Each structure stands twice: as structure tokens, then as C-alpha cells.
Amino acid sequence: MSDLSSFPITTRWPAQHPDRIQLYSLPTPNGVKVSIMLEETGLAYEPHTIDFGTDDQKTPEFLSLNPNGKIPAIVDPDGPGGKPLGLFESGAILQYLAEKTGKFLPTDPARRWQTIQWLHFQMGGIGPMFGQLGFFHKFAGREYEDKRPLQRYVAESRRLLSVLEARLDGRQWIMEDDYTIADIATLGWVRNLIGFYGARELVVFDELKQVKAWLERGLARPAVQRGLEIPKRP
């Protein structure tokens, strides 16, 4: 039986199965990366819902695991050397889980680095830009009179999508025949942009034939469908 008592987060969200990976999350575009990955790999895990409505992510217990106050975060009772490991930042968690299982990250060194490169393209480009577009189009920023920030993030999001469109030309996944953590990181963000954020027309999504077909392929995967609903919303 694993001892997770050194992780204060477990006092607020107790582990029923301390031998399993503990996931603290919500089905947002960053959150679902990890639940999809856990579903794809088949690793045993226990999800805990972090409710933004009650600012769970700002509680001392959550901040003890992620001082940045954002989901997703995990505790792996069986980390390196068999010791428990806590991790935050979805890109780092995806890479960690890929290396732990030997899945969704090519072993060939050059292809491995290219996958990590595309993962960072999502982390540093798609995530932040689409997120700001969401703020200025769907959330509080919608009320701002000055439309230049919205225009800036729409233009940047379209540009990033066109980079993805070119990459996917003639490829079924970002890394050709290998479905990888780069796809897992990006799928939820593109789905969210045209779905929840309501920006389909704004980014002229229907012109992006390759991205559209890739998104459909991704969303057809049963593990993706399950991961998109985990943890349960409050």
C-alpha cells in the first residue's frame, strides 16, 4: 500500500486507491490532455474533480502540489526509483507518462525530439493564444470596447492553425503514422476553440481541411471520448 501522506493535497482529496496515479483535474483543454493520455495508456488512476466554482485550485492543499494554482496535476505513487512523484504542467505530465509507459512518444531519437517540439508548439503557442481568444471572445473580455486584443488573438490563432494545417498535409497524425502526445495535447484545444469558445467562423475553421479531418480522426478514438469527460464536472 502506497503512503501518500507527504502530499497535503490528499487531505482534501483523499485517495481511495493510493496505489493508483492520483489525477487532480477538470475536463478543460489542459485537463483533458492528461485524462486522455491515462485512458490511452491504460494506466490505473483515480480522478479527483477540482471545482473552479469554489476556487479549489487556489486552496492551500491544491497549491501544495501546484503552486501555480492550475489544473492538471498528478501524484504518481510509483514514480522514479519507486518513490511517489508529484507533477504539474500538462506537457511535462504527458512526457512523463509517455516515458513511463513507452507509449505515444517515438523511441527513435530524432522523431522523439520532433514530437517534443510539436508538444511545445501546443504548450507555448496554441494553448496560450487560443486561451486568450477565448477570454476576449467568450468570457469577460467580450465586453471590452477595444477590439484590438481580440483581433490580435484571432489572427495569431489562425496563423497557428495554418501551421498545423501545413504539417498535417499528407499525414494522418502530427508524427505521420504515429499517434503521439503531440496529438493528445492539441486535439482538446482545437475542439474547444470551435466548440465551447464558439470561434469556428472567427478562425474560418472550415477552410482547414487537414485539421478538420485530423480532429475527426482524434475524436473517433474511444479513449479520447472517455478522457474528454474525466473527471466528472461538479
Ligand X SMILES: N[C@@H](CCC(=O)N[C@@H](CS)C(=O)NCC(=O)O)C(=O)O
Q: Distance of alpha carbon 57 from its chain centroid, rounded?
A: 16
**Does residue number 70 form part of the binding site for ligand X (CB under 6 A)?**
yes
DSSP 232: P
Of 87-95, 135-143, 145-153, 196-204, the segment contacting ligand X by CB under 6 A is 87-95
Nine-digit cell at 9?
493535497
With CB atoms as reference, the residue minimizing the distance to ligand X is 70
- Closest separation in Å from C-beta 170 to ligand X: 29
Whichever of 70 and 167 has its CB closer to ligand X, that residue is 70
Element (DSSP H or E) covering residue 47: strand 45-49
Whichever of 71 and 75 has its CB closer to ligand X, that residue is 71
CA distance 83 to 73: 17
CA distance 49 to 218: 24
DSSP 13: S
- Closest separation in Å from C-beta 142 to ligand X: 18
Whichever of 22 and 28 has its CB closer to ligand X, that residue is 28
Q: Among 71, 98, 105, 187, which residue interacts with ligand X (rule: CB under 6 A)? A: 71
- Closest separation in Å from C-beta 1 to ligand X: 29
DSSP 70: -
Element (DSSP H or E) covering residue 53: none
**Of the candidates 2, 214, 180, which has an alpha carbon nearest to the alpha carbon of residue 104?**
180
8 A C-beta contact, residue 178 and residue 150: no
Whichever of 15 and 32 has its CB closer to ligand X, that residue is 32
Binding mask 13-52 for ligand X (x = CB under 6 A): ---------------xxxx--------------------x
**Does residue number 89 form part of the binding site for ligand X (CB under 6 A)?**
yes
Please work out the total of residues on this chain that contact ligand X, with binding judged by CB under 6 A.
Answer: 13
Q: Judge residue 97's burial from the number of C-beta atoms within 10 Å of its C-beta, 0-12 exposed, 13-18 middle, 19 or more buried.
A: buried
- Closest separation in Å from C-beta 144 to ligand X: 19
- Cα-based torsion angle of the residue sequence 179, 185, 190, 193 in order, rounded to the nearest 10 degrees: 170
Q: Among 57, 95, 115, 186, which residue interacts with ligand X (rule: CB under 6 A)? A: 57
Whichever of 30 and 41 has its CB closer to ligand X, that residue is 30
Residues binding ligand X (CB under 6 A)? 28-31, 52, 57, 69-72, 89-91
